[in-house]
Structure 1
Amino acid sequence: MARSDPLIFAIAGAALAAVATAGAIRAAVGAAPARVDGPLAVETQQIASSVFANANKTAGPSEDGTAVTPIGYRVIPAGDQTRLGHLPLNAALHPDGRYLLVTNNGQGVQSLQLVDTRTNEVVQTLSYPSPESLYIGLAWSPDGKTAYASAAANSKIRVLSFADGRLTEGDPIKLPTKAPDGKAVTLFPAGLAITPDGKKLVVADQLGNAVTVAGTAGGQVQTVATGHRPMWVTLSKDGRTAYVSNQGADTVNIVDVAGSAPQVTGQIKVGLHPNKSVLSTDGRRLYVANGDADSVSEVDLATKSVTRNFSMSPPKKALIGSNPTGVALDGAGKRLFVTNSGNNTVSVVDLTRGKVLGQIPTGWYPSAVIWHNGRLLITNAKGLGAGPNNGPGYPNPERSGRTSPSQYVGSMIVGTLSSVDVSDSGEQLDAYTRQVERTATPVTRGGDAVVPRKPGDETPIKHVIYIVKENRTYDQVLGSLEKGNGDPSLNLFGDESAPNTRELARRFTTIDNFYAGGEVSANGWNWVAQANSNPYTEQMWPARYSGRKGIYPSENNAPENAAQGPKDSYLWQRFDKAGVSFANFGFYVSRKGNEYHGADPVLDARTDHAFQGDDLACPDSAGTFTPKKSNCLTPRVDRWLKSFRSYEAKGEMPTVQFVRFGNDHTSGTKQGQPTPKAMVADNDYALGRLVDAVSHSKFWKDTVIFVTEDDAQDGPDHVDAHRTPALAISPYTQTGKVDSTFYSMASMVRTIGLFAGIGPLTQFDDSSTPMSASFTDKPNYRTYSVIKPTYPMNSINDPGVLAQTPGGK
């Protein structure tokens, strides 16, 4: 959540070791084989199909060097693998090709790394703990003696001399920190490019909506306003013109950088949210990766128009989700390579024939690609994923000490570098492509008598209530349930503080293999509302959470946050277009005076403006939790109940309701605030009261209540740090059985859509498994009576009173 998530975990200490021997990788959960060779040993990977068909597969890295993402995609990276730092978003090859410079831009300690391209070994790491920063921008001087790196939060460009295979940082190039009117600004430098003579550096100022041209020898620094959220710079061959991708729009700005001051001279319309770009070898064309159009635009620079668009969507997949980020050309300029961060692939495009030749499997979330002497060097921002986070120093809201960076999902994921031979693009590429086809799409279960197979099919469910809570793992709440795959030693919130959540999980379906799509609230809420988290969000949230001046990339109506068109990305927008009735209680709202409003007019029109929005000082329920602010509105569940009683009186209720009960986020050990157990109890009591009301109403017979967390960042889990509680509450789920099918947030979004009668939003919910196995066609109409938590909800944090977590470190 924007409010305080970054403060929950003060990440400190040295960066995790980021050096690996050539061709080897150690996953977060243990050693992996040194490499997967040949055509990926593709034909030996028949395990992929059987693993995907296994309902009990889990997310995270495996000892064989493969992984499953929290959305359920199988990751089997091609080539040799090298462990990097956290969230490598870009790389730049030294002019002589001997070294690759990588920038790691994660939430914890950020770093620059030098990789020897002969051995794929990391030979130097320069660490930058917050508030020092790095970002996407990297550039080498033409003579290779100097490297430049964006330090976004620090309003400067790092200047590093290079000699004898080592980088040494010197005095930076400082960027403006005040606008012409004297107001403070954070330009937040992103992409960099250096002119062929090495005299000027051109910088995309992402949060300043500007471009800066700086003299590399201490000359003038000139800034000009440009498009929305500029992210990347590619220079013309003569270095006189810059082409700047506006990641928050669908344009590339043309900037004259040859004069004494830069000037915007034109604009080219490309696809939605352009990312990196590359110039053709003859300098006549620009290839632009359109992150939320799933395409690459070929731009004729003479006519300033798009001549061709290459689709990055998988075969037979028209929906958005490939999320292309990086582009590179081979030495002859005839093949284009594109990193598809959403599909975990690199597409190979034959520019002569104008067609996509095939796909190369990568690690999770490939972010940049470099061609070098017949090989691709691919940075995978999320590597092989997280795995368990139940080791020493795991997240614990009752502990005032620091969480270990290696146990916090926001900083424990280690990026990787894939080195893949592409000198022969024929038989081997075909083998890679077959591998992608077998593993890129999870096996999808069909519908049953309750969950429709397709939108519009008959179902007894007529109403959906979608409740989203905050930041808990499965083990933290349900680990000691005595059913399902839990670790009792990690259970912090038991029957005293979460009696309703636990009883609902026991009595209805125990769903023990459900994963949040994102690591934190910033990307988690995007998965909640639009079944995707786009490249802008993925690169921006770590800067926000680590105090590096990033902005919160979610829960508002900013166009750059929408993973598709800003008016066509979110569930409520799709419902509105389909004529599906809905009501909103707390999703994507902010306070205006004494009311809460949604920035999106479609959402705001169906928002209860008197429903208390996100504010931890205000209670979810009307228990004995004491508000600490005089301006709190009615407790959230009481306000919802008022609307529900009006639905009962009218005899009709919206098809879908969005309800936010977020106080299980807790305020941690902050003095004077309710204890974590008190806040979880308050939140749990609100949930119980809502279910009680629905189950005793006429709507019970045809309603399902879905409950989950936006993310799982504030707790431990013995399976994977993304695993989180999920509930499906209905007469059609009151079975007491355990459902261990692999589900994700995309599965819940897909299932809600099927009940409401709309199609999938993205590739991710389209290929997810609907939650059919949690339902039965034999309903049990037994009502539910709320359980009041025994833990006192008026308990206030006191260091001498806080309970210790069993198994806590």
Structure 2
Amino acid sequence: MKKLFFSMFLVTCAICQSYAQKQVSILEVPGTDKYCIITPHGTSVLPSGRFVTPAGDFVRITHDPFGLSISPDGKKAVTLHNGVITLIDLATMDAVRVPSYDKKIVSPILDGSFLGVAFAPDSKTVYLSGGDDGAIMVYDTEKLQRTDSLSLNGKVGGKDYQDSFTSDLLLNAGNNELLVLDRGNFRLVRFSLATKTITASIPAGRQPFGLSLSPDKKTAFVANVGMYSYPLITGATPQNADSIMISHHPYGNDTKESIEGTVVEGRKIPGVGSPLSPEAMSVFTIDLGANKVINKFKTGYQVGQMIEGAEVVGGASPNSIAVGTQYAYVTNATNDNISIIDYKNNKILGEIPIRVDNRIDHYRGLLPFGICLSKDEKTLYVALLGFNAVAVIDVPSKTTTGLIPTGWGPSRVKLSADEKELYITSCRGFGAGPNGGKGFVRPPQGTYIGDIQLGLFQKLPVPDAHRLAGYTSQVIGNTFLTKKVDIDPKNPLPALPGATATPIKYIVYITKENRTYDEVLGQLKNANGDSTLARFGVHCEYTLPDALRVKLPGLNVAPNHIKAAQQFAFSDNYYCDSDASIHGHHWMLGVIPNEWVEANSNVDKTAKLFSDAPGRRFPGSTGSMDPEDYAERGGLWEAMERSHVNFYNFGEGNETAHNREIWTDTLTGSGHLVMVPMQKALYPRTSHNYAGFNTNIPDQFRMDQFESEFTKMWIRGKQTMPALITMQVPNDHTADPRAKDGYPMKQSYVADNDLAVGRILHFLSRTKYWKNMLVIITEDDPQGGVDHIDAHRSILMMAGPYVKKGYVSHTHANFGAILKTIYNILDVPYVNQYDATGTLLTDFFTDKPDFTPYSFLRSDTRIFDPQKAMARYHNVIDWRKIEKGPDMDDEEHERSERNKDDKN
């Protein structure tokens, strides 16, 4: 601890010295002045501002290849995606997609697939995870047809297992059997191929994910990524489920209530137990001779530990295992390290930290996933999902000897039998690229962001030391660089957290849902937009079908977005790192989606809440974070709490996997039956009277809730507005038209959202806090729209007195850049590598404040009538009151508050 404090003292002194010299070093992504572009045989620019330049030969394949197997004869590879497999000829690198886009080759998989793929000794038969249907598909790769389907359901040892969900699998050829993980029933299944029967069912931990086998075939290893087995409200039945739900999360994670249970709204709520349970985020070793669990290892760092000065709040997420003759090596995604298990002596020997560069090694974000071990057991190859590289690790010295460049989001890595070649899969390859606009040609997979961005399969020679050194430099240069910047005490955005004083004391961070740049702001001048895609702008009737074009002349869908962008500042080079909401609400709140989030979000799955299979109440939220998802140090919430910076949340974090969303769920937007904890830091600081995601509730209802609560607490109340407010305004997500409720078109939801954004700025700019405020407006993901630059390009607007007026930023930005902005202003240390290397957005700001308030524009009632939308709540909108804004305190009170602020 003394060493840690001394190191921190030296760093502080060094920073102070740099400030005195009027210059400081910061880290940024290399693409700060570039727009996203795909250049397969050159340098591609990702939404993060990072570059990718994959090594070796490659072929683009379907997105998200989470399973990989190489045939015993070394001639072909099979990658497994959700409902898709790709057959790759390793000599020619030709790829065949199954099913083919023309449907002539049909899929062998019925209901999605998850992780597991293994070749038979004949090198033509493969066994595939059937995922949701709880089966193993047997497929002939030469005849391109399914030959069998083997179910995991049925009785074993007197117990009837149903609702199985096939996860990872491997072939134990000596026994002519398959070892299969069933994430539905939390077990390992032994399946005899000779008799086509289940010979054993052995308990595993929660959400079994990764599977491996010792060289002597006597010990199986199961990596469990689940934290809890999520219970229902006590007494819940299919008949009373709708009436027994509670209106919000039941408790904060790792609290007395979450461990032991509690009572909420008169309902008895079971606890989920301790995050340190042996079944939670652990590795089970199983004796295949006795069909018994030998040991339950808790790998990586544990919740509650103090690591490098911060309390661990997220589990290690052990996910993949490579096994040698004495030791097993386990990738802990959250901790950026590898645990060493001496399975012969049943003990953990410690961890191998993955070190890539001393400038960022103290941050997390590598996310080690797939792993393989050389035959001499001296070298590990590890796919770094968060770093676009494969790490090469020397086992005897426990050091990272180099990095190999991959595509975006590497998932699996394998060695050829002769160990001369490496095979690597990446989830998102070169990124998405444009999915609309002039000259765009629709590809066979479609234009949805999750489909248009293809994965990648790489083949390359195992690099020698010289080649590896070159690769390593390439990876680092692709990812971040050090930049010397002048300390500008006048700019309201400090170059580093707390580096200079700033007049900005309050930040309101607003997220909306699913829109791209072009479809909302594409018609704005002096910016890189395509007006032909601006279906949600103003005077945008030209984007409507012919039948509506004449009917709705001069249609205005988002006049407040256009007005606010022109009055304040916006970016035409901003990208969501996310593809969909499940990723977006992680990224925007400073938590990089781990391997569980990525894989689980890309598989078809059916919830069965009253099943005896606990895994059917799976975690997998879209608008909140589950305990399986937490980062080691958490994200934005935990960073604020550690630095004693006050915050409050409206709407984020309410949407769990199995929640109800109907128009009467107005308190938080949700009804909850399956009990899932909320982040401990967030739970006491989130509103239970503001509706999160639920498109059945008008955004105008949310505005009434927000204005009422804000006024009560921070205008009329004794409390001061928190330094950070997070806020979700989700209806631009759109939904099916509901004319009777005031939504005759999909555009109606965007118009509702636009009016809400206008009202927020109108309200805030008339409060006493406006003079020291920054408002950041963005989207959680861009999946609902099209864009001529990149399908990830989205909306970033900033507003406030110290934001430049009428400004268009062409500087690259993403969630990392937004979070860096927040952390720098509020003097909060960065949490992960994406924060630390995010673009510094000083160009948005000015030292010459303009306190002019914003005045909202009413909606075009032809497509959205707010009064009609609010009628079912018997609420009459008082426009005069809304236009007047909040009641201000008297002059004497304002003067007193101003004096307090000056002293602080």
Q: Could you say which residue in structure 1 is the equivalent of 2:685?
A: 606
Alignment partner of 1:529 out of 589, 600, 613: 589
CA distance in 1, matches of 2:208, 2:738: 38
Alignment partner of 1:638 out of 695, 699, 704: 704
| Native 8 Å contact 1:313 1:322 kept in 2 | no
Q: Could you say which residue in structure 1 is the equivalent of 2:817?
A: 747
CA distance in 2, matches of 1:612, 1:441: 39
- 1:206 matches 2:183: yes
Gaps of 5+ in 2: 1-27, 100-105, 227-279, 301-315, 539-555, 609-615, 671-676, 870-904
- 1:561 matches 2:601: no
CA distance in 2, matches of 1:307, 1:599: 33
- 1:132 matches 2:132: no
CA distance in 2, matches of 1:504, 1:722: 22
Q: Could you say which residue in structure 1 is the equivalent of 2:466?
A: 427
Instruction: Note the C-alpha offset of 1:53.
Output: 5.2
CA distance in 2, matches of 1:697, 1:286: 59
CA distance in 2, matches of 1:120, 1:227: 38
Alignment partner of 2:860 out of 790, 794, 807: 790
| Native 8 Å contact 2:41 2:53 kept in 1 | no
SS in 1 for 2:452: coil
Question: Over residues 295-318 of structure 1, what are the superposed CA-to-partner deviations in whole Å (9 max), with x where a residue is unaligned?
Answer: 122221112223242222421221
Aligned residue runs from structure 1 range 346-365, under 5 A: 346-365=390-409
CA distance in 2, matches of 1:383, 1:153: 26
- 1:384 matches 2:430: yes
Q: Could you say which residue in structure 2 is the equivalent of 1:231?
A: 209
Between the two proteins, the alignment pairs up a number of residues equal to: 714
Question: Over residues 757-784 of structure 1, what are the superposed CA-to-partner deviations in whole Å (9 max), with x where a residue is unaligned?
Answer: 2111211111111322111111111111
Instruction: Note the C-alpha offset of 1:643.
Output: 2.2
Instruction: Note the C-alpha offset of 1:257.
Output: 2.9
Comparing 166-175 with 228-237, greater Cα deviation is found at: 166-175
Opposite residue 290 of structure 1, the aligned amino acid is N
Instruction: Note the C-alpha offset of 1:487.
Output: 0.3
Q: Could you say which residue in structure 2 is the equivalent of 1:160?
A: 139
Q: Could you say which residue in structure 1 is the equivalent of 2:502?
A: 459
Q: Could you say which residue in structure 1 is the equivalent of 2:354?
A: 312
CA distance in 2, matches of 1:78, 1:244: 32
CA distance in 1, matches of 2:598, 2:496: 31
Alignment partner of 1:334 out of 378, 381, 384: 378
CA distance in 2, matches of 1:732, 1:776: 5
Aligned residue runs from structure 1 range 432-511, under 5 A: 432-441=471-480, 448=488, 449-457=491-499, 458-495=501-538, 496-511=556-571
CA distance in 2, matches of 1:645, 1:575: 23
Opposite residue 865 of structure 2, the aligned amino acid is N
SS in 2 for 1:613: coil
Opposite residue 716 of structure 1, the aligned amino acid is V
| Native 8 Å contact 1:327 1:339 kept in 2 | yes
Aligned residue runs from structure 1 range 682-761, under 5 A: 682-761=752-831
| Native 8 Å contact 1:202 1:211 kept in 2 | yes
**178 and 506 in structure 1: CA distance in 2 versus 1, 3 angstrom threshold:** farther
Q: Could you say which residue in structure 1 is the equivalent of 2:611?
A: none
Instruction: Note the C-alpha offset of 1:214.
Output: 1.3
CA distance in 2, matches of 1:118, 1:404: 26
Q: Could you say which residue in structure 2 is the equivalent of 1:325?
A: 369
Q: Could you say which residue in structure 2 is the equivalent of 1:40?
A: none
Q: Greater CA radius of gyration, 1 or 2? A: 2
SS in 2 for 1:506: helix
Q: Could you say which residue in structure 1 is the equivalent of 2:845?
A: 775
Q: Could you say which residue in structure 2 is the equivalent of 1:18?
A: none
**250 and 581 in structure 1: CA distance in 2 versus 1, 3 angstrom threshold:** same
Q: Could you say which residue in structure 2 is the equivalent of 1:112?
A: 85
SS in 2 for 1:292: helix
Instruction: Note the C-alpha offset of 1:140.
Output: 2.1
Q: Could you say which residue in structure 1 is the equivalent of 2:64?
A: 87
Q: Could you say which residue in structure 2 is the equivalent of 1:512?
A: 572
Question: TM-score with structure 1 length normalisation?
Answer: 0.83
CA distance in 1, matches of 2:752, 2:481: 38
Q: Could you say which residue in structure 1 is the equivalent of 2:275?
A: none
Question: Over residues 262-316 of structure 1, what are the superposed CA-to-partner deviations in whole Å (9 max), with x where a residue is unaligned?
Answer: 4322112222111221112xx2111111111111222211122232422224212
Alignment partner of 1:408 out of 435, 448, 463: 448
Opposite residue 450 of structure 2, the aligned amino acid is G
Once superposed, what is the RMSD of the aligned Cα atoms?
3.0
Comparing 605-614 with 487-496, greater Cα deviation is found at: 605-614
Opposite residue 510 of structure 1, the aligned amino acid is F
Instruction: Note the C-alpha offset of 1:586.
Output: 0.6
Comparing 316-325 with 540-549, greater Cα deviation is found at: 540-549
Instruction: Note the C-alpha offset of 1:736.
Output: 0.9
Instruction: Note the C-alpha offset of 1:225.
Output: 2.8
Opposite residue 593 of structure 2, the aligned amino acid is S
- 1:255 matches 2:289: no
Aligned residue runs from structure 1 range 543-562, under 5 A: 543-544=603-604, 552-556=620-624, 558-562=626-630
SS in 1 for 2:681: helix
Opposite residue 134 of structure 1, the aligned amino acid is S
SS in 2 for 1:439: helix
Opposite residue 292 of structure 2, the aligned amino acid is Q
CA distance in 1, matches of 2:187, 2:31: 50
CA distance in 2, matches of 1:310, 1:471: 39
SS in 2 for 1:543: coil
Name the structure with the higher helix share. 2
| Native 8 Å contact 2:354 2:399 kept in 1 | no
Instruction: Note the C-alpha offset of 1:726.
Output: 0.8
CA distance in 2, matches of 1:444, 1:407: 37
CA distance in 1, matches of 2:590, 2:813: 16
Comparing 327-336 with 513-522, greater Cα deviation is found at: 327-336
Q: Could you say which residue in structure 2 is the equivalent of 1:300?
A: 342
Comparing 365-374 with 647-656, greater Cα deviation is found at: 647-656
| Native 8 Å contact 2:586 2:625 kept in 1 | no
SS in 1 for 2:704: helix
Q: Could you say which residue in structure 1 is the equivalent of 2:733?
A: 665
| Native 8 Å contact 2:29 2:839 kept in 1 | no
CA distance in 1, matches of 2:114, 2:139: 15
Comparing 671-680 with 762-771, greater Cα deviation is found at: 671-680
SS in 2 for 1:723: coil
Instruction: Note the C-alpha offset of 1:359.
Output: 0.8
| Native 8 Å contact 1:681 1:791 kept in 2 | no
Question: Over residues 480-531 of structure 1, what are the superposed CA-to-partner deviations in whole Å (9 max), with x where a residue is unaligned?
Answer: 1123111000001123121111111111112111111110001111101224
Comparing 475-484 with 549-558, greater Cα deviation is found at: 549-558
| Native 8 Å contact 2:188 2:203 kept in 1 | yes
CA distance in 2, matches of 1:421, 1:214: 36
Q: Could you say which residue in structure 2 is the equivalent of 1:100?
A: 77
| Native 8 Å contact 1:455 1:754 kept in 2 | yes
Q: Could you say which residue in structure 2 is the equivalent of 1:803?
A: none
